[in-house]
Amino acid sequence: MSVNPADSDIYGSLYGTPEMRELFSDSASLQFMLEVEAALARAEAKAGLVPATVADSITAAARVENLNLTRIAESTRNIGYPIVGVVNELRRLAGEEASRYIHLGATTQDILDTALVVQMRQALEYIRRDVLAVARALADGAVRYRDTPMAGRTHLQQAVPISFGFKCAGWAGPLPAHLERLDQASQRMQVIQFGGAAGTLASLGADGPAVAEFLADELHLGVPDIPWHTARDRFAEIAGVLALICGTLSKFAFDIALLMQTEIAEVSEPHEAYRGASSTMPQKRNPIASEYVIACTRGVHALARVMLSAMTQDHERATGPWQSERLALPQCFVLTAGALAHARAIAEGMIVDTARMRRNLDAGGGLIMAEAIATELTSAIGRAAAHEAVAHACDRAISENRPLSEVLRADAALRLHLADKAIDRLTDPARYLGASRVFVDRVVARIRALA
């Protein structure tokens, strides 16, 4: 049983992905710690502080399947961190000579932070891959429905016509910027943490900076200007970018859920038997994927605040804020992966009912074209008068339950400026899509240029 549904055997597929959960599992996390310890031994061998044969022995022993996890768990309960237990196990496995050199010059946080950096590097590759997949799927939809008219809605009411391609492009539009943010934040994050007891590397003397360089090289990471034990901006930035990605996904999901409403029914999630079913209402096809995108997003947004608050740390080693990051950051990744998986499934398989879109456009009796008509009249009678005249015509159409075109044709004053052909043209939603094509093409071109 799991307290967190993202780690549950029952709920896990709704709140995350097996791939991301495995990456942040106990065994994977311990393996990353072992890899950092082994890399440190090799780095210190390059610096002449550790015999090369000893570094080889440590590297060979640094396999999670060799560890006694019960001992590590007991040590962690007692000490508060797993590193002492991990180091003791590594000493047991690597042999007596090697045990003298394991963890030389490092502190617990050096190993945990650096291991988390390596872990997150892989996690961010998963996130980037899925963001790009969602962007490409939505770009394909933007192209396919570039000229398909539908109702644009503001304040949940029909406003003016748009194309469904324009709507897809709007959903996809922020994603290239998110990929750029992701790449930049990832680059800033990919540095080692290696400062020893209080960040000065004093126990290694003059060799400290060289060991840091060798360690970074072993792990394919950068070297920061100064150890960052209590400067947590890198991790907080990653959480913030994940929160932004989820925010964009949840806007997409919320729109899909609204478009799936029975009274609208223009777009729906891909369907399979019993997907989104009700335990009592056989007809239901609930927007279940969209609901979990929104749920995962709310979790990430809450956890991002934890990461921001964890930046307020005391002196050279934090008493609590650093520990709280462990509650938040892995969950941010798992929940973001879950949101992306659902969003990708929707984007790649959504069912679009173009005929329903047209019926909904027509359902308002042409009222959605009021702006177009008022704009046409502006050159003849001025903007204020045109707005007032069309508003009056709309009121009549609503109160008398008549098409707007019929009301316009019956209005003698407006007929002076609106011929039948003009009324036919001005009440055709497909002719009032503005620069939708231009905007679609821009977004699609940007996404297709992404690597």
Query: What is residue 8's predicted lDDT score, i.e. its pLDDT?
Result: 85
pLDDT (tens digit per residue) in 187-207: 999 999 999 999 999 999 999
**Average pLDDT of the residues in 432-445:** 97
pLDDT (tens digit per residue) in 236-263: 999 999 999 999 999 999 999 999 999 9
Structural domains in the chain, sorted by start: 10-106+195-226 (1.10.275.10), 108-193+228-352+434-451 (1.20.200.10), 367-426 (1.10.40.30)
Residues 6+ away with beta carbon under 8 Å from 274 = none
Spot the catalytic one: 155, 279, 315, 399: 155
Closest CA to 220 of 79, 35, 432, 7: 35
SS (H, E, C) the chain: CCCCHHHCCCCHHHHCCHHHHHHCCHHHHHHHHHHHHHHHHHHHHHCCCCCHHHHHHHHHHCCHHHCCHHHHHHHHHHHCCCHHHHHHHHHHHHCHHHHCCCCCCCCHHHHHHHHHHHHHHHHHHHHHHHHHHHHHHHHHHHHHCCCCEEEEEECCEEEEEEEHHHHHHHHHCCHHHHHHHHHHHHHHHCECCCCCCCCCCHHHHHHHHHHHHHHHHHHCCECCCCCCCCCCHHHHHHHHHHHHHHHHHHHHHHHHHHHCCCCCCCEECCCCCCCCCCCCCCCCCCCHHHHHHHHHHHHHHHHHHHHHHCCCCCCCCCCCHHHHHHHHHHHHHHHHHHHHHHHHHHHHHCEECHHHHHHHHHHCCCHHHHHHHHHHHHHHHCHHHHHHHHHHHHHHHHHHCCCHHHHHHHCHHHHCCCCHHHHHHHCCHHHCCCCHHHHHHHHHHHHHCCC
d(CA 83, CA 417): 82
**Average pLDDT of the residues in 265-277:** 82
Query: What is residue 277's predicted lDDT score, i.e. its pLDDT?
Result: 60
Residue 230 sits at φ, ψ, to 5 deg, of: -115, 15
Query: What is residue 1's predicted lDDT score, i.e. its pLDDT?
Result: 55
pLDDT (tens digit per residue) in 128-170: 999 999 999 999 999 999 999 999 999 999 999 999 999 999 9
Query: What is residue 274's predicted lDDT score, i.e. its pLDDT?
Result: 66
d(CA 299, CA 327): 12
342 in active site: no
**Average pLDDT of the residues in 107-118:** 97
| C-beta pairs of 19-25 under 8 Å, 24+ apart in sequence | 19/126, 19/337, 20/123, 20/126, 20/333, 20/334, 20/337, 20/338, 21/334, 23/119, 23/122, 23/123, 23/126, 23/333, 24/119, 24/123, 24/330, 24/333, 24/334
| C-beta pairs of 148-157 under 8 Å, 24+ apart in sequence | 148/352, 148/354, 148/357, 149/357, 149/358, 149/361, 149/429, 149/430, 149/433, 150/266, 150/357, 150/360, 150/361, 151/357, 151/360, 151/361, 151/364, 151/368, 151/429, 156/258
379 in active site: no
Q: Among residues of the chain, what percentage have pLDDT more than 70? A: 98
Query: What is residue 293's predicted lDDT score, i.e. its pLDDT?
Result: 98
Contact 402, 365 (CB under 8 A): yes
Query: What is residue 2's predicted lDDT score, i.e. its pLDDT?
Result: 74
Spot the catalytic one: 27, 203, 278, 309: 278
Query: What is residue 13's predicted lDDT score, i.e. its pLDDT?
Result: 87
